[in-house]
Chain A
Amino acid sequence: MNGGKITAVERRLRLSGILVIAGLCVEMASLRWSHPTAFLFFILLGGALLAAGILLYLLTLVAASEA
């Protein structure tokens, strides 16, 4: 621990986690809805948020290994 402060890597991981949670929430909500629009929400919004979170996580790993 850094006296309650978080490092840049941890900040990125936190943001990645928030994006993934947001994506998962959208996907969960869409799964409760049986309508063509639900599938679009699932793919376009949920998928985009998940992809952004995963990408940020992978970029964080790459950046951390190069540092």
Chain B
Amino acid sequence: MFGLTTPVLVILIAIILILVLVTRPSVTATKGGKILAFVVLLVFPVLAGGLGVTEHLSKSKTTNFCLSCHVMEDYGQSLRIADKAFIPAVHYQNNLVPRDNACFTCHTDYTMYGDMSAKLRGLKHVYVQYFGKPAQPIKLYTPYNNRECLHCHLGSRSFEEGATHTADPKTLPMIKANQLSCSSSDCHNMIHNVKGLKEATFWKEVTQ
């Protein structure tokens, strides 16, 4: 169904009022008509634009948005691998990250949420989606930053007091300083691993 979100409602009201102006432009000869023109040709479009940008930004953080490109389908599937060794899968399946925003929770500086070069890469991705051929397998442009893990794990008991983390007093400071990677130090290195999808078994979500 056609969901009437706030931006859509504002747009519909604006269109109806502008149609009055377009079909009867002579109304602008009156003071009320001038106010109407000001509101519908300036205030409403700016309001609709602002609300629309907010909604688009909100949507762009959703898992569905990230998986809407063909190249990301395998990565979406990897979230359902029934193997506790797979870090993204175990986070997704156990609600350790919100399922609706799973990708963005662990990739907070991706494309439009990153710096200018990340934003430009986002535009390149759209171009490649339609006119090019994505690299196989796709790779992160920069090594995975521990910051993405620490914004949840920092301060948690299992992280701060974990036997492996505390065995060497240098380990925790190095992890926190992003000098020792969580994901590529032979510790938590089972990430999406899409190459092994064919052999994997998948978790079937129970719908309530």
Residues of chain A whose beta carbon lies under 8 Å from any beta carbon of chain B: 1-2, 6, 9-11, 13-14, 16-18, 20-21, 23-25, 27-28, 30-32, 34-40, 42-43, 46-47, 50, 53-54, 57-58
Query: With contacts A17-B22, A21-B22, A35-B69 known, what are 17 further pairs, Cβ within 8 A?
Result: A9-B28, A10-B28, A13-B25, A13-B37, A14-B22, A17-B40, A27-B7, A28-B7, A31-B7, A31-B11, A31-B56, A34-B68, A35-B65, A36-B60, A36-B111, A40-B126, A46-B52
Q: Does B62 contact A (CB under 8 A)?
A: yes
Tell whether, in the assembled complex, residue A6 and residue B26 are in contact, meaning their CB atoms are under 8 Å apart.
yes
Tell whether, in the assembled complex, residue A6 and residue B25 are in contact, meaning their CB atoms are under 8 Å apart.
yes
Tell whether, in the assembled complex, residue B52 and residue A57 are in contact, meaning their CB atoms are under 8 Å apart.
no
Tell whether, in the assembled complex, residue A14 and residue B14 are in contact, meaning their CB atoms are under 8 Å apart.
no
Q: Tell me what chain A mostly uses at the interface: helix, strand, loop, or mixed.
A: helix
> Can you give 15 contacting A-B residue pairs, CB < 8 Å?
A14-B21, A14-B22, A14-B25, A16-B41, A24-B11, A24-B45, A27-B7, A27-B11, A28-B11, A32-B2, A36-B69, A36-B129, A37-B130, A40-B123, A50-B49
Q: Within the complex, what minimum Cβ distance (angstroms) separates A2 from chain B?
A: 8
Q: Tell me what chain B mostly uses at the interface: helix, strand, loop, or mixed.
A: helix
Give Cα distance in the complex from A66 to B12, angstroms. Answer: 33
B64 partner residues in chain A, CB cutoff 8 A = 34
Interface centre among B28, B45, B55 (most CB of A within 10 A): B45
Give Cα distance in the complex from A54 to B22, angstroms. Answer: 14
A35 partner residues in chain B, CB cutoff 8 A = 65, 68-69
Q: Within the complex, what minimum Cβ distance (angstroms) separates A53 from chain B?
A: 7
Tell whether, in the assembled complex, residue B22 and residue A23 are in contact, meaning their CB atoms are under 8 Å apart.
no
Tell whether, in the assembled complex, residue B37 and residue A28 are in contact, meaning their CB atoms are under 8 Å apart.
no
Q: Within the complex, what minimum Cβ distance (angstroms) separates A4 from chain B?
A: 10
Tell whether, in the assembled complex, residue A36 and residue B122 are in contact, meaning their CB atoms are under 8 Å apart.
yes
Q: Within the complex, what minimum Cβ distance (angstroms) separates B70 from chain A?
A: 11
A46 partner residues in chain B, CB cutoff 8 A = 49, 52
Q: Does B42 contact A (CB under 8 A)?
A: yes
B25 partner residues in chain A, CB cutoff 8 A = 6, 10-11, 13-14, 17
Give Cα distance in the complex from A24 to B197, angstroms. Answer: 43
Give Cα distance in the complex from A28 to B11, angstroms. Answer: 7
Give Cα distance in the complex from A21 to B52, angstroms. Answer: 15
